[in-house]
């Protein structure tokens, strides 16, 4: 989602070298293939104020958006749109 907001100013993704081709189903399949049972998968998005500052009018928008950022980040995490994936798995 951040890449849509920031476009070419997105500080985390450098395509085509840095793309994420995995989803929950693929991660579970990969872990299972290697003898791991997935307990939990989390997608998170960590947005720094610096990243928001790169948006058009970002410097002005930070004080206005600050109260909404927590809610927006929780929604992004819930919809699995985050860019960081953490997999918790146990050896079978």
Q: What is the pLDDT of residues 10-46, one digit of tens each?
A: 666 556 555 566 788 999 999 999 999 999 998 877 6
**Alpha-helix residue ranges (DSSP H) falling in 1-92:** 2-6, 24-33, 49-53, 58-78
The model's pTM is: 0.56
- The three-class DSSP label of residue 89 is strand
Q: What is the pLDDT of residues 41-84, one digit of tens each?
A: 988 776 665 666 666 665 666 677 767 777 877 887 788 877 78
- HEC string of 57-70 equals CHHHHHHHHHHHHH
DSSP 55: S
- Residue 20's domain comprises 2-91
Domain tally, the chain: 1
Longest dimension (CA), the chain: 51
């Amino acid at each position: 989602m951040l890449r849509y907001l920031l476009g070419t100013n997105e500080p985390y993704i450098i395509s085509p070298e840095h793309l994420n081709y995995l989803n929950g189903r693929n991660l579970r399949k990969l872990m299972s293939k290697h003898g791991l049972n997935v307990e939990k998968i989390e997608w998170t998005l960590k947005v720094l104020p610096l990243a928001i500052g790169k948006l058009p009018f970002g410097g002005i928008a930070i004080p206005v958006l600050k109260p909404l950022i927590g809610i927006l980040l929780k929604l992004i995490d819930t919809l699995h749109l985050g860019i960081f994936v953490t997999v918790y798995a146990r050896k079978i």
